[in-house]
Amino acid sequence: MSRIFSGGDIVFILLATRWTVLLSMIAFTGGAALGLMVALGRVSPRLPVRFASATYIRLFQNTPLLMQLFLVYFGVGIAGINIDPLAAASAGLILNAAAFLGEIWRGCIEAIPKGQDEAGQALALSSWQRMRLIILPQALRIAVAPTVGFLVQIVKNTSLASIIGFTELTRSGQITNNATFRPFLIFGIVALLYFIQCWPLSLWSRRLELRLGAGGRGR
């Protein structure tokens, strides 16, 4: 016998949303830090570094995120370390986001004209100085729009944490639905809550893209 869907259930779902937000933030900050290294490795002058970085991206972009989460979750488990679902989900999402952000940012770095780097060489700047002072600041400008776009992806990806048992937004919906059986209403609310987080980011990303396109041609 199922109970009636009530205000308490809505509060439960609303409160679970904060875990989705938190998980997204963790995935993005961690993924950005690791992703920057992946991107830099991808354009490194040293072949082994380039190869390792490319392999990392290839592996993570050609396997399902769900499998990556399972492997982290069960993999850390068999290493004898007890891992809670939040830590496993965070680790999996960070590793995944790093691969995608690394590939996005590699494109941005490579979009900076070669002459910029050569001018830096002529000024006797070291390769690290050229990257830090000349390439990255300019690449950053191009990178903002696609990065914000990828944020949408990250928020949506956190829903998979529910499958390894972390109670975020989607899982709270499942739990509520199991008790009250109002699937259309409950998952409708859940979908709406995701939409509220993602849509502004989508719009922002599109605006940034347009502005960058206009700015680039104007100058």
Partner 1 sequence: MTYVFQFGDVWRNIDELMWGALLTVGLSLGALACGLVLATLSAYARMTWPRFARPVVGAYVEAIRNTPLLVQVFLIFFGLPATGLRMSADQAALLALSVNFGAYATEILRSGFESVPAGQVEAGLALGLRRWQVFVKIELFQALRVVFPALSSQFVLLLLGSSIVSAIAARELTAAANDIQSRTFRSFEVYLVVTGFYFVIASIFSGFLGALDRLVFRRQDRLKGAS
One character per residue 171-200, x = contact with partner 1 (rule: CB under 8 A)? --xx--x---xxxx--xx-xx--xx--xx-
Query: Would you say 169 and 177 are in contact if contact means Cβ atoms under 8 Å apart?
Result: no
- Between CA 23 and CA 159 the distance in angstroms is 10
* Span near partner 1 by CB under 8 A; candidates 6-14, 102-110, 112-120, 160-168: 160-168
What is the separation, in whole angstroms, between the first and last Cα of the chain? 67
Residue with tokens 């990392």: 56
141 vs 182, which CB is nearer to partner 1? 182
Using rule CB under 8 A, residue 146 touches partner 1: no
44 vs 174, which CB is nearer to partner 1? 174
Q: Which of 19, 160, 176, 205 lies at the binding interface for partner 1 (CB under 8 A)? A: 160
- Between CA 158 and CA 23 the distance in angstroms is 7
- Chain-centre distance for alpha carbon 192: 20
Q: Which of 24, 90, 162, 205 lies at the binding interface for partner 1 (CB under 8 A)? A: 162
* Span near partner 1 by CB under 8 A; candidates 2-10, 102-110, 124-132, 151-159: 151-159
Using rule CB under 8 A, residue 78 touches partner 1: yes
- Between CA 203 and CA 100 the distance in angstroms is 20
88 burial (CB, 10 Å; 0-12 / 13-18 / 19+) is: buried
In the complex, the smallest distance separating the C-beta of residue 173 from partner 1, rounded to whole angstroms, is: 7
Q: How many CB atoms lie within 10 A of CB 84?
A: 11
Which residues lie near partner 1 (CB under 8 A)? 59, 62-68, 70-71, 74-75, 77-80, 152, 156-157, 159-160, 162-163, 170, 173-174, 177, 181-184, 187-188, 190-191, 194-195, 198-199, 202
